[in-house]
Amino acid sequence: MITITKYDLNDQYLNCRRNQSLSYLHSKGIPIDLLFYGAYEQPKEIFHSIYDQGMNRNLYLDKVANEKELDLLDIKTHRIHTVQFDSIRHEIAEVLERNDVALLFGDGYRLPYKQNTYNVRHELHSIVINGINPATGLYCVRDDIYDADVYRSGRDYITYECDAETISSFYDNDFDFGSHETLESKWDAIYYESHFNSEKPYLQDVFYPRFEQMLSHLSMDFELYAEIPDLIANASIDQPLQQDDRLLQFITILIGSRKHFMQFLQRIESVNVDTIALFDQITGYLESIRYSFIKKNMTGKLDMAKLKNKCDLLKNDEESALYSLQRSIAVNR
């Protein structure tokens, strides 16, 4: 049975399904950071997706690790389509016997260990089945830690054991989960077949050309950063901050976007250390801004002048980082 270590530990960019997929592949030794060549996202696009299109982080349009992108690493995605888990138990067992995993969507309302949603609210959720306990016959499920009604990020997955009836209840029952056209079908169990070849020059032949093309057409607008202080100042403090708060999601996805993109940049020799340091500093500013928002919600206190200065530094440094990056890539063409 493969042990899956959570990759995006703080859930800053990847939704639960993407995080589980990449965590599994990373545990298999696949260099998934190559997939982050396209993780550098326009602030206005993220803002528009969350505020105008009403997508929360779980349905946000991830631009990495979709099926076509995984295929670039010679990872094949297989789908077992069914509306009843019981009808695919044999196929799932075969997948697990190969030391692979199966990923399923279902309703968090029906997962006893998911204390923030169990018998409380319906919520689309993804789980990873990574084995069967031979002593009990129960399914081993890797998932996040849930404490009472509070979900806390920053911790690794743990293993839960669920019987077939629980998995069937989770998977089989339909509900209105606010599907988006880019979301994989709820009625597909997913597993992966890896033909990754460590001798193949994936960076040079596959990902760097895509990165170079993306960068040559990239035009970023950072003017939205100047609006963040007012957004935070005007945010309600009438109730505790929730993970689905739109402003919190916007800032968090920005952090994850820059952090994951930086992981790809560290693979490229022509990108100098000063540029990497700038991107690291950018994520630091964003994390500090996020903390200011959380603190304001908890205490009602906000140092507006200090926050505006952080946002100005963020904008200036990100403009410098992008210019430096585009220049270094152009010079090495």
Q: What local confidence, expressed as pLDDT, does residue 115 receive? A: 86
Burial 30-51 (b: 16+ CB within 10 A, else e): bebbbbbbbbbbebeebbebbe
Lowest mean pLDDT, pick from 19-33, 34-48, 174-188: 174-188
> Mean of the pLDDT values across residues 83-87?
95
Q: Does 186 score more than 90 pLDDT?
A: no
- β-partners of residue 193 are 76
Lowest-confidence segment of 16-20, 32-36, 273-277 by average pLDDT: 16-20
The structure tokens listed for 117 are 């949603």
> For residue range 124-166, what is the model confidence (pLDDT) as tens digits?
889 999 999 999 999 999 999 887 544 556 789 999 999 999 9
Range of the domain at 303: 202-331
Query: Which of residues 152, 178, 194 is at a domain's end?
Result: 194
Residue 11: the pLDDT is 82
Residues 231 and 298 in one domain: yes
Same domain, 243 and 284: yes
Tally the domains of the chain. 2
Judge contact between 176 and 59, C-beta under 8 A: no
If asked whether residues 117 and 82 sit together in one domain, one would say: yes
pLDDT at site 182: 46
User: Do 206 and 327 belong together in one domain?
Assistant: yes
Same domain? 182 vs 237: no
Q: CB count, 10 Å around CB of 301?
A: 9
Q: How many CB atoms lie within 10 A of CB 83?
A: 11
326 plus 243 within the same structural domain: yes
**What does the block give as tokens for 15?**
């939704």
Both 188 and 207 in one domain: the answer is: no
